[in-house]
Amino acid sequence: MMQYLPHSESTLLRLLAGGDQHAYQLLFERYWDPIYSTALILTKSPSLAEDVAQDVFTMLWEKRASMAAVEKLENFLFIAARNTIYTRLRKLSSGKAYRDYLLQTFRETEGAGVDEQAEFRELEQRVMHVIQQLPPQQQKAFKLSRFEGMRHEEIAVAMGLSRVTIKSYIVQAIATLRKALANNPSGALILLWGLLFWGR
């Protein structure tokens, strides 16, 4: 339940824009729990959710001068939280750090047993097998996007193709992977989060 505000949100945002720390504190107390809870649902990690919420409210204070123009703070903060999560997870999107994050999330979600770890590895191998079966250009574009962290424009230049063509390749690859993993929703949701749903 959100905390009652003694002033209208628009008034508090105007005060915040002027550097009023009390206004900031009131907004912080009202929205911390909803932002943290949303981040926890999306990341399945209490520590990461805490970091995301802290980043969002740090940003709120740093950009306070522009806050008077925000019409609905709740929507603004939720979008900021979502973008912060995407940014943080993209930084893990290649190498050991990413795999460790997925494994930890899988353990927290499903239970840390040998069977679950075996299922995780099986799903990971299945994803890689499906990727290897993609048409060569589609496969290359997908790997550059999801494994190398390149944006569509960068991939287009690297492959000598248009941005629209690259986007089409990646969309097709995602559709193929979704179909291949549709019958195994437990750990696949984690893999899909990391491999399929991050925009570039």
| C-alpha dist (Å) from residue 30 to 14, 34, 69, 125, 141 | 16, 8, 19, 44, 43
Report residue 45 CA to chain centroid gap. 12
Enter the CATH code of domain 9-91.
Answer: 1.10.1740.10
Domain(s) labelled CATH 1.10.1740.10 in the chain stretch across 9-91
Domain(s) labelled CATH 1.10.10.10 in the chain stretch across 96-195
Residue 170: predicted pLDDT: 84
The predicted model scores a pTM of 0.50
Alpha carbon distance 36, 44 (integer Å): 11
- Residue 103 has a CB neighbour count (10 Å cut-off) of 17
Alpha carbon distance 21, 174 (integer Å): 45
Stretches in the chain below the pLDDT threshold 50: 1-4, 110-112, 187-189, 191-192, 195, 197-200
Residue 90: predicted pLDDT: 64
Q: Give the fold, CATH level 3, of 96-195.
A: Arc Repressor Mutant, subunit A (1.10.10)
- Return the closest-CA partner of residue 151 out of 81, 82, 70, 90: 90
